[in-house]
Amino acid sequence: VLPSARGTNVTAAVPDAGLAHEGEGEEETENNDSETAENYAPTETEDVSNANVVKEVEFGMCTVTCGIGVREVILTNGCPTGESKCVVRVEECRGPTDCGWGKPISESLESVRLACIHTSPINRFKYIWKLLRPDQQSIVLVNDSAILEVRRENYPLAFQCDTLDNNEIVATIKFTIYTSSELQMRRSGLPVTDAALIFVLTVGVIICVFIIFLLIFIIVNWAAVKAFWGPKASTPEVQSEQSSGRYKDSTSLDQLPTEMPGEDDALSEWNE
C-alpha cells in the first residue's frame, strides 16, 4: 500500500512542479513585457514631442491669372532636411472663369488649331466648343476634345470653349479666326510697325546716353567749364551795362531845360 501511495504522491508532485514552472514562466513573461513596455515608452514620448512641432504653411503664386492652374504649397517651419523653406506639394488653384480672347496654338493660311484651358490630366475635364454668331444663338459643336482644328473661311469666325469640372464651368476662352487675306495683311503690317518702334527706341536710348555722359563730364570738369564760360557770360553783362549807361545819358540830355522865348525878345530889343 505504501509504495503505491508513494508513487501516487510522486506522480502528483510532478504536475505540481510543471505547474510551478509554468507559473514561473508566466511571471517571467510578465516581467519581460513590463520591461519591453518600459523600453518603448520613451519612443512614444518622442513621437508625441515630434507631433507638437508647429508646421507653418504658405502658398506660392498661382501659375495663371484666370481659369485653372497650379501653385506650390511651401513649408516654412519643420522641414525634414532642416531648411528654412521646402515645397511640400503642388495643388490646383483657380482664378476668374472668363479668360477673354486667346491666341491659337498654331496657325497657317489654311487652318488654325485652338486649345481649351486645362491642366493635367487632360481627360479630367469636359470641354464644350461653341461657334459664336452675332445677334444669334451660338452653335454647340460636336467636338468635345481640348483641341479644335478649324479651316479658314471667306469670313471671320469666332469660337468659344468652356472647360467644365463636375458640370461646373471653371474657365472660358474665346478665339477669332481671320480670313487668309486678313492674316496676310496683319503679318505684312507688323514688320513695318516693329521697325519704326525699334528705330524710335534706339534714337531715344542714344539721346539719353549722350545727355547722361554730358552731365557727368560737366560735373567732373566743372572748374574748366566755369573758366570757359565765365568770360563769355561776363561780356554780355558789360555790354548791357554800357548800353544802359548810354541810355541814361541820352535821357538826361533830353531832360535839359530849353531857352525861354521871352529872353530872346529881350536880347533882340537891347541890341536894337
Residue-range domain boundaries for the chain: 57-94, 98-178, 191-227
CB atoms within 10 A of CB 152: 20
Choose which CATH entry (3.30.310, 2.60.40, 1.10.20, 1.20.272) describes domain 98-178. 2.60.40
CA distance 7 to 9: 5
50-101 pLDDT, tens digit each: 445 556 888 999 988 899 989 999 988 888 877 888 888 999 999 999 999 9
Q: What φ, ψ does residue 229 adopt, rounded to 5°?
A: -85, -10
- Count the helix, strand and coil residues of the chain and give each as a percent rounded to the nearest 5: 50, 25, 25
Q: Given a cut of 80, is residue 22 above it in pLDDT?
A: no
Place of cell 534714337: 203
Strands 157-165 and 168-177 come out as: antiparallel
Contact 156, 182 (CB under 8 A): yes
Contact 118, 192 (CB under 8 A): no
First-residue to last-residue Cα distance in the chain = 214
127-164 pLDDT, tens digit each: 999 999 988 899 999 999 999 999 998 899 999 999 99
Q: Given a cut of 50, is residue 248 above it in pLDDT?
A: yes
Indicate the pTM of the whole model: 0.49
Q: What is the mean pLDDT of residues 234-263?
A: 56
DSSP secondary structure letters along 11-57: HHHHHHHHHHHHHHHHHHHHHHHHHHHHHHHHHHHHHHHHHTS---E
Q: Given a cut of 80, is residue 214 above it in pLDDT?
A: yes
